Amino acid sequence: MLQSKLDYSLNSCYKNRIITSTEKPQFKLDAFCINLDKKQHNMHFINSEWKDFCNITRFSGLSSATESHVEILKNIYINRKSVKFPIVVMEDDVYKKNDFTKYWNKLLKLNTCDYVTFDAFYLSLKDSDSDLPSYFASLKGHQMMGFTVYYKKFFDRFRTINELVLAINRNPIDMNFTNNEKFIKYTPKQQVCCQIVSKFSDTAKKVTSHYLDYYKEAENILKTIDKTIDKTIDKKIFIIGFNKTGTRSFMHYFIKNSIPVIHWHENRLARAIKFNYDNKRKLLTNYEKFTVFCDMEDIHNMNFAHVTYFKEMDKQYPNSKFILNIRNVEKWIESRNNHQDDNGNYTDYFCKKLKLTKEEVNDKWRKEFYEHNKNVIKYFSDKPNKLLIYHVENDNIEKLNDFLPEYQLNADLYSHEGKT
C-alpha cells in the first residue's frame, strides 16, 4: 500500500485504543483541519472520528505545518468578531482515547487560558496555578499541536496581526510558540488524544514511530500530577556517557519503568541546556518534570552538554545521581562510524563540519572519550555515592538497579536497543 493511501482507521494504536467515556458530548465546536491535497482521503477518517464533537472545515495544507497553523490563526484573528469561540485547530491524524469526552465537556467553563492542547508530549508543568480548574494541568511548554482549542483571550492579546505573526511564526511552531511561557496553556490531566505517528511524516520528513515513546513519557508525567509535589524535585539522574554507549537502551528501560526520561530530543535538549546556562537560568528550565536525562548532544553546533556542564548539573541539582556509561573505545568508534541519522552518516557529518579526515575524527573522538571519562571520575572522587561507572558491554542491569534502589526498577524490562 502506498504511504499516501494509508487508512488511519487500520492503525494498531487507533484500533487498540480504549474509550472509557460514559458521557456524551454536550456541544460541538467549529474546527479547522489541516489536510494536504495529496491526502484528502484522510478527511474520511477525521470526519468519522470527530463528527459528534466538531463542525470541521478542511484547510488545504501548505508547505509546512508551521505555515498552515500560522495561516489559520491569522484567519481567525482577522475574523475574530464573527468567530464562535472556543475554536479548534487540528491535524488530520488525531484520534480520541480514554475519557476524552469528560474533559471536552469542561471546555466551555474555562475562561483563564489562551488554549488547551489535547495531544501534547514533552510536557513541562507549572508547579502551581491558583486559577487552574481541577481537571486540567497548567503547562510551561509542550510539543505537538495536533488538536488545540483556542479561546478569544489568546487573540485579544494582540493589537495587530503583525504582533500575532511575530509571536507564532517561528519554525517549527510546535517547539517555539508552544514553549512561550507568556501564553496560558492547559492540558487534560489524562492523556485523551494522540496523533497517529507510526508512519512517514511529511512535516518531519521521516518515519515518526519513536514519537510513541514520547507519548508514553507524557502519559507517565500526567499520572504524577495529583501526587504531592516532590520535595526532591532537584533529584535527577544524569547519564553522562557519550552517545552509542547504551543511551537508547537506558531510555527505553526507564520508560518501561514509568520514570520520565528525555533522550536527545533531536539536538534540542543540549541546545536548551546551553541556552539556559548562557542566560543564567537553571539548566533544566522547561524540562523540570523529567527525571532522567541522556544523550545530551547537539552535533549541529558541536555542543556536548554532558561533557561541558556535568559539574554545573551537580551544583544546581545536588541531590542527583550520575551514570558514566562506557564501552570498549574502539567498538564505540566503530559504532559511531556505522551510525546513520537524519544528516546521513554520522562520521561523514563530523568530517564535513570539522574539515577533518575520518582518521582525524576518530582520533579526536578517542581523545575526547578518555579525557571526559577521566574528568568525570576525578570530579566525583570525593563523592563516590553519586557516580556509577557502567560498562554497557560487561555489566549487568542489576548494577544499575542497586545504584538506584529508590526507583524500584524491574530488571526484567531491560533489553538492548540500537542498531549499531
Backbone torsions φ then ψ of 363, nearest 5 degrees? -65, -40
For the stretch 47-81, pLDDT in tens is: 999 999 999 999 999 999 999 999 999 999 999 99
Q: What whole-number distance in Å separates Cα of residue 419 and Cα of residue 341?
A: 11
- Residue keyed to cell 504582533: 163
Q: According to the CATH classification, is domain 3-207 in 3.20.20.140?
A: no
Q: What whole-number distance in Å separates Cα of residue 319 and Cα of residue 235?
A: 5
Residue 305: CB atoms within 10 Å: 25
For the stretch 96-127, pLDDT in tens is: 999 999 999 999 989 889 999 999 999 998 87
In this prediction, residue 420 has a pLDDT band, given cuts at 50, 70 and 90, of: low
Reported pTM: 0.63
Q: What is the pLDDT of residue 327?
A: 97
In this prediction, residue 204 has a pLDDT band, given cuts at 50, 70 and 90, of: low
User: Considering just the CA atoms, what is the radius of gyration of the chain in Å?
Assistant: 23
Within 8 A by CB and 6+ apart from 401, the residues are: 409, 411
Q: From the centroid of its chain, how far is CA 216? A: 10
Domain ranges of the chain: 3-207, 230-413
> Average pLDDT in the 335-358 region?
92
Q: What is the pLDDT of residue 22?
A: 77
Query: By the 8 A CB rule, do 187 and 140 touch?
Result: no
For the stretch 158-202, pLDDT in tens is: 999 999 999 998 888 988 899 999 999 999 999 999 999 988 777
For the stretch 275-306, pLDDT in tens is: 999 998 999 988 888 999 999 999 999 999 99
Which class is 230-413 in CATH? alpha beta
Asked whether the bond before 86 is cis by omega within 30 degrees of 0, the reply is yes
